[in-house]
Structure 1
Amino acid sequence: MSGLEQALGADAAPEDQRRHVTGEMTRVFSQARWFHGFWADVREVVQYRELLGNLVRKELKVKYKDSFLGFFWTLVRPLLQLLVYSVAIGFFLGSGKVIPEFGVYLFTGLLAWSLFTDIIGGSTGSIISNAGLVKKVYMPRELFPLSVVGASSVNFAVQLVVLLGAYVVTGSWPAPSNLLLVPLALITLILFATALGLMLAAANVFLRDVQYLVEVGLLLWFWMTPIVYDWTKVQSTLTDAGVPWLFDVYMLNPMANVVLAFQRALWPGGLTEQGAPFYYDGPLALRLVIISAVSLLLLWFAQRVFARAQGNFAQEL
């Protein structure tokens, strides 16, 4: 029997009756303990992997339901951002004359940022948007934010096609030696975003203002990340202001490291002599490994918070 059939084929169970059936005995939901149950919850998610796949497909289909252009809309936002920032910052402010292949430089950063915001924004509202299933059917509630992660990853893969097209048009290709940074940066981004998404999804059930705070927070975070400007401006400005140590604080931003890794690996302009000043040569691989390790701990903590909160989801919804 498939995971979807298991979830939908049985009688609906309320949220506070999380059922673990052994023979004829049923254990009613009890609040999860902090230091026990993480791996049991992971195994349960794996057992429902077929249902997770169905939820990912649902996320993709619902998003573009009755849409003539379908997945093309996945490309509209980053392309529009690319156009606006290229004109406003690249042309009017002159960054395009200083940074070689400014359009590709922009798009590599926007590519990483779009995946991050899709996961965070979608995960935050994932429980509320699936309130009907949450209240009627038992399944691991982690499946809902995880389905957003899966759907966002598919959209990310679609957007990569635009970047490949840019390489073909410009005739410039990134150095193969740096491409290994892409999967490392992608793993770091997904771990970090999933951890935040789990906590925000749970918090949003109890406090609906969270989704609006997330929108404001992401806007501020965007401008704290070197996407539409280069990192050298931050370093030189802080050095001139007599506080060079603040640049080290700035680099504690996980998304700054992810974006710089995407730029190093996927931006051909950084390979030219003219582009050398904008090519961040810090220990990005080591930074990403450290951030990934911290994100794993954060993911454990987020899952335990989520597990302790989910018993009250149906009542709050």
Structure 2
Amino acid sequence: MSQVSTGARSVEQRHDLAHVPLSPPSRTSGVLEVFRRRYLLRLLVRREIQARYAGTAFGLLWSYINPFTRFVTFYVVFGLILGRGLGIQNFAIHLFAGMVLVNYFTESVTAGTRSLLSNRGVITKMAMPREMFPVASMLVSLWHTIPQLLILLVACIATGVWGDGPLWVPDAVGMGAALLGFVLMMVYGTAFGLMFSCINVLFRDFQRIVQTFINMIPFTVPMMYPYYVIADGERIPTQYTQLYVSNPVAEAVMLIQRGFWYPTCDGPCATMPNPNGDGTLIPAPNFADHLFSRGFVMLGIGLVLLVVGQWVFSRLEKSITERL
């Protein structure tokens, strides 16, 4: 009899789950959990890519058409009509190299801001880390940047083969600079995507506010004009130069230009009028001083911003589902 009662108590204990702590159906360790679920992340990325080109006649070809038409517009207006390309060797490469990173960053932030609202059906039906959606948007934007990089690579090679400059040969320092520029935009794009996506759910007009500032970015980086326009102190007071180069997007643009545009130059990449007014041209600064050290400092700041973005996301996440 005692053995039966003992067995009954053990069975009762096994089925008594009151002592087991409750846990959410999806683990909540933030961005790290997103990359632990790489299979699900790949599915989301593939789904978003397919949805973007669903029903279109040209499909992936639009990834080449859109950046090419934007490049032609900027080149004609700023390079030919306004003459911003005067004194800059291979101004087209200078412009397009900057466009690649600017397009990637702006698309990443814009898509990340809308990511939770765009996937509201999935969020309300499936248990998964919600950070996955801004991260997936960043990766989709990176995937769309690959065609632009291929165009840039072909243009650099063609400049050396058919142009007057030297044959374009990638160097380790230049490729490291370009890679650092991309990593900067990945970190900052993800950080802003995490913060802005939650805020956009709670305040639906926020994505339009973000878009307003996004439209200003191409004009705040040395892409459609050379860096010396900012550094010479004639148009902008020198005390604002440090503020200008503290822009992580401007830093990333100069880094990718160091990797792709700088090796195409034969002699000084840019020249400017001599300050003594004798009408001669002198070599102009191509990039800001301490380009690499500033880049790594901005990377550290970006990682801190990513932690802040994760914290903001975690604080606002509880209010997301009921507002979707």
Q: Which residue matches 2:226?
A: 230
Deviation of 1:46 (Å): 3.1
Amino acid of the structure 1 residue aligned with 2:191: A
**Structure 1 residue 303 and structure 2 residue 297: aligned?**
no
Please, which moves more after superposition, 171-180 or 136-145? 171-180
Q: Structure 1 CA distance, aligned partners of 2:48 and 2:215? A: 24
The 5 A counterparts of 1:254-265 are 254-265=248-259
Structure 1 length-normalised TM: 0.84
Q: Which residue matches 1:217?
A: 213
Aligned partner of 2:287 among 280, 288, 291: 280
Q: Which residue matches 2:242?
A: 248
Deviation sequence 1:139-189 (CA, Å, 0-9, x none): 000000111111111111221111122123222415514221111111111
Deviation of 1:289 (Å): 0.6
Q: Does the CA contact (< 8 Å) of 1:270 and 1:279 recur in 2?
A: no
Q: Does the CA contact (< 8 Å) of 1:105 and 1:269 recur in 2?
A: no
Amino acid of the structure 2 residue aligned with 1:294: I
Q: Which residue matches 2:76?
A: 87
Aligned partner of 2:168 among 170, 173, 185: 173
Deviation sequence 1:235-274 (CA, Å, 0-9, x none): 22xx236831210111111111100111111104663224
Q: Structure 2 CA distance, aligned partners of 1:230 and 1:284? A: 15
Q: Does the CA contact (< 8 Å) of 2:180 and 2:295 recur in 1?
A: yes
Q: Structure 2 CA distance, aligned partners of 1:241 and 1:219? A: 22
Amino acid of the structure 1 residue aligned with 2:257: Q
Q: Which residue matches 1:18?
A: none
Q: Assess, with a 3 A threshold, how the Cα gap between structure 1 residues 92 and 130 changes in structure 2: closer, same or farther.
A: same
Q: Percent identity?
A: 28
Q: Which residue matches 2:10?
A: none
Question: If you compute each CA radius of gyration, which structure gives the higher value, 1 or 2?
Answer: 2
Q: Does the CA contact (< 8 Å) of 2:97 and 2:257 recur in 1?
A: yes
Q: Structure 1 CA distance, aligned partners of 2:244 and 2:157? A: 34
Q: Assess, with a 3 A threshold, how the Cα gap between structure 1 residues 243 and 61 changes in structure 2: closer, same or farther.
A: same
Deviation of 1:28 (Å): 6.2
Q: Which residue matches 2:276?
A: none
Q: Structure 2 CA distance, aligned partners of 1:173 and 1:181? A: 16
Please, which moves more after superposition, 276-285 or 148-157? 276-285
Aligned partner of 1:123 among 105, 109, 112: 112
Please, which moves more after superposition, 240-249 or 205-214? 240-249
Q: Structure 2 CA distance, aligned partners of 1:181 and 1:157? A: 17
Q: Does the CA contact (< 8 Å) of 1:204 and 1:210 recur in 2?
A: yes
Q: Assess, with a 3 A threshold, how the Cα gap between structure 1 residues 191 and 69 changes in structure 2: closer, same or farther.
A: same
Amino acid of the structure 1 residue aligned with 2:69: L
Aligned length: 287
Q: Does the CA contact (< 8 Å) of 1:173 and 1:268 recur in 2?
A: no
> Gaps (5+ residues) in structure 2?
1-16, 161-166, 271-283
Amino acid of the structure 2 residue aligned with 1:195: A
Q: Structure 1 CA distance, aligned partners of 2:32 and 2:258? A: 37
Amino acid of the structure 2 residue aligned with 1:309: L
Amino acid of the structure 2 residue aligned with 1:300: V
Q: Structure 2 CA distance, aligned partners of 1:266 and 1:242? A: 27
Q: Structure 2 CA distance, aligned partners of 1:115 and 1:23? A: 50
Deviation sequence 1:180-212 (CA, Å, 0-9, x none): 111111111110111011101111000111110
* Cα RMSD (Å): 2.3
Q: Does the CA contact (< 8 Å) of 2:31 and 2:132 recur in 1?
A: no
Q: Structure 2 CA distance, aligned partners of 1:23 and 1:46? A: 32
Structure 2 length-normalised TM: 0.82
Q: Which residue matches 2:281?
A: none
Secondary structure of 2:216's counterpart equals helix
Q: Assess, with a 3 A threshold, how the Cα gap between structure 1 residues 88 and 167 changes in structure 2: closer, same or farther.
A: same
Q: Which has the higher contact order (CA 8 A, sep 6+)?
A: 1
